[in-house]
Amino acid sequence: MFKVPPVTEQRLQQLLRAMPKAELHIHIEGSLEPELIFALAQRNGVPLPYASVEDLRQAYAFTNLQSFLDIYYAGASVLLHEQDFYDMARAYLARAAIDNVAHAEIFFDPQTHTARGVAMETVINGLHRACADARSELGISATLILCFLRHLSEASAFETLEQAQPLLDKIVGVGLDSSELGHPPEKFARVFARCRELGLHRVAHAGEEGPPAYIWSALDALKVERIDHGVQAMHDAALMQRLAQDRIPLTVCPLSNQKLCVFPDLKNHNLRQLLDAGLCATVNSDDPAYFGGYINENFTQVFAATAMTARHAYQLAFNSFEASFASNADKRVWEHRLKETFERFVEHD
């Protein structure tokens, strides 16, 4: 590992913004800004229960995961046509490029759309075209992860997989999201086993609000390669050891955890403890349009609140590439760029 010397606080904030990074936990429907929700509602003639952009933004006061999900699914109801999915993903990727995201693995929730009569291919083709254009026009690499909604049934997840089958070359993996409590990972063991046979990568939200037991079962029953959130692992020493030993990445989302009251404030966030315990933690935005910031805002705010150092910054960016499903050749290129960025900043300090 590159030896990172200490830098001033101001320099560290610049470094956090400038360093290349991968974003591995971003729900594309959670990148829909209120302005775009209103524009799409108008374009598609979808009525909204909010009078204005400001009125909608005012509703973004959450007390837990469910209070957020209710508004998040309502916002997604304006998405009908392939171009809508394209515009949403394109807007996110343009924003991510500004934050020096070199690679994004983007979650999408097809059941939210197919339940409203939108075809699976409309969703996937729109998102995939945006990823392809972003690569050629913005120089950012992006892939797609299909998430099953855990509050729905196993049968619905199997049906969703069936609908996606002809389009599997356009996704890299599957995930599990939505209401965690009361919906343990093992409910989807057979679906994930099938996805594994199909050669898909596997991730799952676990230990956001749910107990460490859900992280154990995501690992052992679903055989996931990464845990999304996972911050509740802190309460189980044996689990912490397993995550460190097997280098199972955690895709941590500080502003999300703050906004959904998983931690009382960022000062009490455990990212630094997870890193210092040797876990492969990463920083991500989750649902940036709803939680008050894109990936760089997550980095700068959690660093300011928890007094982490340039060494932590380097480790987090390095982890994000290591934890990604990109090729080893791509990872080496990004790691090299990361090292160069640090050398440049340190030299001029």
Binding site, residues? 25, 27, 205, 286-287
Residue among 82, 180, 208, 297 flagged as catalytic? 208
Which residue, among 294, 262, 297, has the nearest Cα to 66 in the 3D structure? 262
Interface with Zn ion, residue 297, by CB under 5 A: no
Interface with ligand HPA, residue 208, by CB under 6 A: yes
CB of 341 to ligand HPA, least distance (A): 29
Interface with Zn ion, residue 99, by CB under 5 A: no
SS3 for 41-110 is: HHHHCCCCCCCCHHHHHHCCCCCCHHHHHHHHHHHHCCCCCHHHHHHHHHHHHHHHHHCCEEEEEEEECH
Q: Write the interaction track for ligand HPA spanning residues 130-169; mark x where CB under 6 A is met and - where it is not.
A: ----------------------------------------
Q: Which two tokens stand for residue 303?
A: 């660093």
Residue number of the CB closest to Zn ion reads 286
CB of 167 to ligand HPA, least distance (A): 21
Q: Which is nearer to ligand HPA, 21 or 27 (CB)?
A: 27
Tokens 């591995």, residue located:
24
Interface with ligand HPA, residue 23, by CB under 6 A: no
Interface with Zn ion, residue 29, by CB under 5 A: no
CB of 182 to ligand HPA, least distance (A): 13
Interface with ligand HPA, residue 286, by CB under 6 A: yes
Interface with ligand HPA, residue 287, by CB under 6 A: yes
How far, rounded to the nearest angstrom, does the alpha carbon of residue 118 sit from its chain's CA centroid? 23
| Residues 186, 348: Cα–Cα separation, whole Å | 51
| Residues 171, 107: Cα–Cα separation, whole Å | 10
Residue number of the CB closest to ligand HPA reads 177
Q: Which is nearer to ligand HPA, 160 or 256 (CB)?
A: 256
Q: DSSP letter at 260? A: T
| Residues 105, 213: Cα–Cα separation, whole Å | 26
Question: Out of 230, 286, 319, 321, which residue is the one contacting Zn ion (CB under 5 A)?
Answer: 286
208 is catalytic: yes
- Alpha helix segments (H runs only) across 139-236: 154-164, 189-197, 212-220
CB of 284 to Zn ion, least distance (A): 8
Q: Which is nearer to ligand HPA, 143 or 256 (CB)?
A: 256
- Residues forming the annotated binding site for Zn(2+)? 25, 27, 205, 286
Strands 201-206 and 173-177, bridge-based pairing: parallel
| Residues 25, 230: Cα–Cα separation, whole Å | 12
CB of 19 to ligand HPA, least distance (A): 24
| Residues 99, 108: Cα–Cα separation, whole Å | 21
**Number of residues this chain uses to bind ligand HPA (CB under 6 A):** 11
Question: Out of 205, 226, 259, 339, which residue is the one contacting ligand HPA (CB under 6 A)?
Answer: 205
Which residue, among 206, 153, 199, 220, has the nearest Cα to 176 in the 3D structure? 206
Long-range contacts of 32-35 (CB under 8 A, 24+ apart): 32/75, 32/76, 32/78, 32/79, 32/88, 32/289, 33/91, 33/289, 34/289
**Catalytic machinery residues:** 208
Chain contacts with Zn ion (rule: CB under 5 A)? 286
| Footprint of ligand HPA (CB under 6 A) | 27, 30, 65, 72, 177-178, 205, 208, 256, 286-287
